[in-house]
């Protein structure tokens, strides 16, 4: 991918190179993650699901995608 | 009259809340939850595994049947606990949170100072906060004053199964706190649960005591019955303890 048209983001601690202009919604689709039961934090701020389509990934963004798991 | 447990804006018939961690299989967990009669189940909030994005507890827990209580387990600072609580609210569409701020890896005792700090922030944000705390009556009062909808003192360290280590502190907490007091952590077997309820606790939250038993489904039922028995005994009014015997059969009319 052309460096000029790519952005480097961290997703759950892993480096990902994405095309410029990719939205959060597209990123989740790319990763095969359905939005039901998940939450996303972008640079330490929770992004409401309604804002996924309009949220464009920027260089050096840190994304955390979480869901529930077994616990006490 | 139905004996309901009222927590914040919610009410429950069951006084046993159950965790969803450490079961031998999802199938056993589902059966154990069913046997426990619990209406509230706790869950942890963790990163989605990017290699197995299809995995989800949502696939096996009926979210229409249970009230999910996301926890902040594994958080060692107020900030991390607050972040996790916010993510839990967004993911599970609930304002309930079991707030944990752990202070030490070996004991998993809470960092009560950070806990109170996080509780204040989350209450302001509209969360109904159920804090896992020590058995310190002063801290319990501070958490109630901060607006928590329950206080959840440990009976013994998480996963230890040591039972009710300090019944006297629990009694003092129960005397001073108006919101429900839920014993969280340390219950190892049915008699521990009964003791907590006989003391007057409003409910019990447990995970390892059930999930770690040889037969989790059987233990879940045992815990359900113990919680109910303890609650009944509490209100039935036990006899005073005496040092010497007091015959149950008449002492008159004996044969010569």
pLDDT bucket at A1, cuts 50 / 70 / 90: low
Res B56: pLDDT: 79
Res B252: pLDDT: 92
Chain B residues in contact with A48 (beta carbon < 8 A)? 90
State phi, psi for B123 to the nearest 5 degrees: -60, -45
Q: Please give the interface size between A and B, counted as residue pairs whose CB atoms are below 8 Å apart.
A: 104
**B12-29, pLDDT tens digit by residue?**
999 999 999 999 999 999
Is B1 a residue whose pLDDT tops 80? Answer: no
Q: Where are the domains of chain A?
A: 6-67
Closest CA to B131 of B68, B46, B117, B208: B117
Chain A residues in contact with B158 (beta carbon < 8 A)? 72
SS3 B226: helix
pLDDT bucket at B59, cuts 50 / 70 / 90: confident
Query: Architecture of A6-67 per CATH?
Result: Roll (3.10)
**B210-254, pLDDT tens digit by residue?**
999 999 999 999 999 999 999 999 999 999 999 999 989 998 999
Res A28: pLDDT: 96
Is A5 a residue whose pLDDT tops 90? Answer: no
Average pLDDT, rounded, for chain A: 93
Distance from CA of B99 to the nearest CA of A (A): 11
Contact B57 A11 (CB under 8 A): no
Per the CB < 8 A criterion, the answer to whether B203 and B163 are in contact is no
**B124-133, pLDDT tens digit by residue?**
999 999 999 9
Any chain A CB within 8 A of the CB of B29? yes
SS3 B173: helix
Longest alpha-carbon distance in chain B: 86
Res B13: pLDDT: 97
Tokens of B42: 């706790």
Annotated active-site residue B120? The verdict is: no
pLDDT bucket at B155, cuts 50 / 70 / 90: very high
Residues B78-91, mean pLDDT to the nearest whole number: 97
Tokens of B67: 């009230």
The pTM assigned to this predicted structure is 0.93
pLDDT bucket at A3, cuts 50 / 70 / 90: low
Residues A16-26, mean pLDDT to the nearest whole number: 95
Q: DSSP letters along B179-220, please?
A: S-BEEES---SHHHHHHHHHHT-SEEEESHHHHTSSSHHHHH
Res B53: pLDDT: 78
Closest CA to B206 of B148, B140, B160: B160
Closest chain A residue by Cα to residue B43 = A71
Distance from CA of A4 to the nearest CA of B (A): 26
Is A2 a residue whose pLDDT tops 70? Answer: no
Closest CA to A30 of B55, B90, B50: B50
Please pick, among B13, B98, B178, B218, the residue that the annotation labels catalytic: B98
């Amino acid at each position: 991918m052309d460096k000029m048209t790519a952005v480097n983001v961290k997703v759950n601690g892993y480096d990902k190179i994405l095309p410029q202009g990719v939205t959060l919604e597209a990123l989740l689709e790319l990763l095969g993650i359905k939005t039901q039961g998940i939450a996303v934090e972008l640079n330490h701020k929770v992004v409401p699901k309604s804002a996924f389509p309009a949220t464009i990934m920027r260089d050096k963004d840190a994304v955390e995608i979480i869901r529930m798991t077994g616990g006490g | 009259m139905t004996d309901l447990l009222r927590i914040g804006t919610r009410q429950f018939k069951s006084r046993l809340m159950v965790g969803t961690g450490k079961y031998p299989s999802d199938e056993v967990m589902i059966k154990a939850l069913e046997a426990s009669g619990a209406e509230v189940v706790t869950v942890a909030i963790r990163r989605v595994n990017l290699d197995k994005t299809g995995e989800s507890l949502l696939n096996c827990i009926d979210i229409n049947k249970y009230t999910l209580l996301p926890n902040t387990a594994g958080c060692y600072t107020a900030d991390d606990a607050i972040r996790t609580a916010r993510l839990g609210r967004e993911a599970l569409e609930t304002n309930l949170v079991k707030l944990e701020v752990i202070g030490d890896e070996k004991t998993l005792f809470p960092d009560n100072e950070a806990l109170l700090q996080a509780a204040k922030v989350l209450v302001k944000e509209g969360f109904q906060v159920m804090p896992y705390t020590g058995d310190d009556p002063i801290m319990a009062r501070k958490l109630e004053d901060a607006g928590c909808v329950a206080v959840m003192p440990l009976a013994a360290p998480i996963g230890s199964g040591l039972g009710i280590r300090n019944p006297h502190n629990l009694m003092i907490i129960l005397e001073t706190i108006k919101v429900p007091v839920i014993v969280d952590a340390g219950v190892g077997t049915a008699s521990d649960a009964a003791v907590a309820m006989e003391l007057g606790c409003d409910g019990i939250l447990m995970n390892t005591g059930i999930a770690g038993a040889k037969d989790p489904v059987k233990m879940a039922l045992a815990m359900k019955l113990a919680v109910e028995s303890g609650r009944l005994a509490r209100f039935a009014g036990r006899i005073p303890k005496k040092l010497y015997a007091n015959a149950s059969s008449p002492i008159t009319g004996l044969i010569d």
